[in-house]
Amino acid sequence: MTRKFLVIIPELAGPPALIGEALMEQGHSYDAIYPMDRFASHAPLSYPGLPSEPGDYAGLVMMGGPMSANDTAEHGFLEESMSLIRSFGLAQRPVLGVCLGAQVIARAYGGEVFRLGGLEAGYVGMRTTEEAARDPVFAGLAGNFAAFHTHYEGVRNIPEATVLATGGKSAVQAYRIGATTYGLQFHPEVTIDIARDWVRKFGAVFCQDEPRLITHLDRDFAAHFQASAQWCRRFVRSWSNLPG
């Protein structure tokens, strides 16, 4: 069944990429809305703002961005996104948050977004939890895998969240709230061109804390990208077809 999704993109350099491709490979479509750039794919000449309700959208995706989910005073769209996330959750429609998106979901449901001990970047080894084997999306993805990261903050103390993956600097790298809301601290959507663009745009900060983003980037993508892209497609296939 064809479904249309809404994708919130807080950073122009952080598109849905492989996630968007995987949706379209399933025969689905998506509208993209850029709250910082005040642009929407479905209304390119007149920015409509974020909707207040799910409407006809089958599900919601929120991508990453350079701001903190705690920066609600500076970025009004964060509170709007939290409200919309809860609306999709109440409607039991699939919700996915990636990096910042996962942190916004955590805040929306009373969780804590906190500063890690430093930047977590590049491909990092993840491992799924026992609960993941019983999860409708993660059941087919259980085991160890490498995932690409670029974040200074993590999530914790999320009421009623089920932790699905852990590893690296954070005990919570993937989680589920309710039946259809998922948060991923890592970036399954990323391609090497996107990663190179992040180095170009944010490298003055990122590469001081993690020089391997320059020295090891090509080698790490050669080693891990194919498996990571397959993981992304399998995840999106299961997530996007959750009952809702």
The residues that are catalytic are 99, 187, 189
Place of tokens 């993937």: 174
Q: Closest by alpha carbon to 38, among 16, 70, 1, 12?
A: 12
Residue 148: φ, ψ to 5°: -85, 135
Token pair in block for residue 121: 């970047």
